């Protein structure tokens, strides 16, 4: 079956593009796949509207891009363990408010994530992304040179500290904590496909920059976090049911906007394994 060549329509200055002309439940040919890979590395966040796909179809689409990576902490639909259900209700509001890159506590953090809107609040619940190519490229040459040689520690326990503090949280997450000791990654990574450099620290999982004093590390990370998400480096998506966003986790930060109060929001996510940052 021959799928049409996708069209990319940029949605903001630094990142984000809507992709038209594809239904993700179809079998995609190799040329279309190559166009999507290149489009992802360039636009960093791809948005597909009107994608009424099943969890199995979401899994099959994602698997064309690499090995899928189940999450250690989230529930899944029956029979599709690669799909994580991210659900928030009045009883179970979202605990993650911080800008982050997914699962940087892993030795090989995801290449990307594919998130589908299933149940959306009447208003609110947007997602923000920030280009870390743009963040790196906006730094001065001396600062880029300083950061290029540094490494930082990323820790699952640090990112899930609110969940761990809930009653029974430490017991529920004990296996995930044991399986995910702190990891070290470069502060600046080079995207394996585009060859562009990107900042690679985030306030959810990064605990410290190695080799600096605690005060130096805290001050530098605070500067980088503010710099990384300046307005002109961001893109904001308003979801609708069956909107799919596919973001490149190697060169972006993202953040849920928790302004939907107690309204129900249900998303399904698949994560694609990436390489070791370098
Ligand atoms: Fe995330």
Instruction: Residues 7-272: name the CATH superfamily.
Output: Clavaminate synthase-like (3.60.130.10)
What is the rounded distance in angstroms from the CA atom of residue 250 to the CA atom of residue 275?
Answer: 9
Share of residues in the chain with pLDDT > 70 (%): 98
What is the total residue count of the chain?
278
Q: Per-residue pLDDT tens for 22-35?
A: 999 999 999 999 99
The pLDDT of residue 239 is 97
pTM score, whole prediction? 0.93
Q: Is the pLDDT of residue 209 over 90?
A: yes
pLDDT of residue 273: 95
pLDDT for position 262: 84
8 CB-side CA count, 13 A: 18
Ligand 1: centre distance to CA 216 (Å) = 27
The Cα 77–Cα 85 span in angstroms is 7
Cβ-contact 268, 100 below 8 angstroms: no
106: its two tokens: 């892993």
Question: Is it the case that residue 64 has pLDDT exceeding 50?
Answer: yes
Quote the ligand 1 centre to 269 CA distance (angstroms).
9
The dihedrals phi and psi of 118, each to the nearest 5 degrees, come to -110, -60
Could you read off the pLDDT of 72-95 as tens digits, one per residue?
778 999 999 999 999 988 888 877
Q: Ligand 1 centroid vs 214 CA: distance in angstroms? A: 27
Q: Mean pLDDT throughout 48-57?
A: 97
Tell me the Ramachandran region of residue 95: left when phi exceeds 0, alpha when psi lies from -120 to 50, beta otherwise: alpha
**Active-site residue numbers?**
100, 102, 254, 269
Q: What is the 103 CA–ligand 1 centroid distance (Å)?
A: 8
Paired tokens of 149? 């040689």
Q: Which of 60, 69, 57 is nearest to 110 (CA)?
A: 69
pLDDT band at residue 148 using 50, 70 and 90 as cut-offs: very high
Evaluate if residue 3 carries a pLDDT over 60: no
User: How far, in Å, from the CA of 86 to the mean position of ligand 1?
Assistant: 10
Average pLDDT, the chain: 94
DSSP symbol at 4: P
Residue 28 CB contacts under 8 Å (≥ 6 apart), including other chains: 3, 22, 36, 61, 64
Q: Torsion angle of alpha carbons 133, 139, 141, 143, nearest 10°?
A: -110
Q: Where does the chain show beta strands of DSSP type E?
A: 7-10, 17-20, 45-48, 83-88, 112-119, 127-131, 151-154, 183-186, 188-190, 197-199, 206-209, 234-237, 244-248, 252-256, 265-272
Distance of CA 142 to the CA centre of its chain: 29
Region 246-273 average pLDDT:
94
Paired tokens of 218? 């805290």
């Amino acid at each position: 079956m021959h799928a049409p060549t996708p069209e990319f329509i940029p949605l903001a200055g630094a990142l984000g593009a809507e992709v038209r002309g594809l239904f993700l439940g179809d079998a995609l040919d190799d040329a279309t796949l190559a166009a999507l890979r290149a489009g992802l590395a360039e636009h960093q966040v791809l948005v597909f509207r009107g994608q009424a796909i099943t969890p199995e179809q979401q899994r099959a689409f994602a698997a064309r891009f690499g090995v899928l990576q189940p999450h250690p902490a989230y529930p899944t639909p029956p029979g599709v363990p690669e799909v994580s259900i991210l659900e928030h209700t009045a009883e179970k509001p979202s605990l993650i408010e911080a800008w982050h890159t997914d699962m940087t506590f892993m030795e090989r953090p995801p290449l990307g994530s594919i998130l589908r809107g299933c149940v959306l609040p009447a208003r609110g619940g947007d997602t923000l992304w920030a280009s870390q190519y743009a963040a790196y490229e906006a730094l001065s040459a001396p600062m880029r040179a300083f950061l290029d040689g540094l490494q930082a520690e990323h820790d699952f326990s640090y990112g899930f500290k609110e969940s761990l503090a809930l009653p029974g949280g430490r017991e529920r997450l004990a296996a995930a904590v044991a399986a995910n000791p702190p990891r070290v990654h470069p502060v600046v990574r080079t995207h394996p496909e585009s060859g562009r450099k990107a900042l690679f620290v985030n306030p959810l999982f990064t605990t410290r920059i190695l080799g600096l004093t605690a005060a130096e590390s805290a001050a530098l990370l605070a500067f980088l976090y503010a710099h990384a998400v300046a307005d002109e480096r961001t893109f904001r998506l308003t979801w609708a049911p069956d909107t799919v966003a596919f973001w490149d986790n190697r060169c972006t930060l993202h953040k849920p906007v928790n302004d939907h109060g107690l309204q129900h929001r249900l998303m399904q996510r698949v994560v694609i394994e990436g390489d070791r940052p370098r």
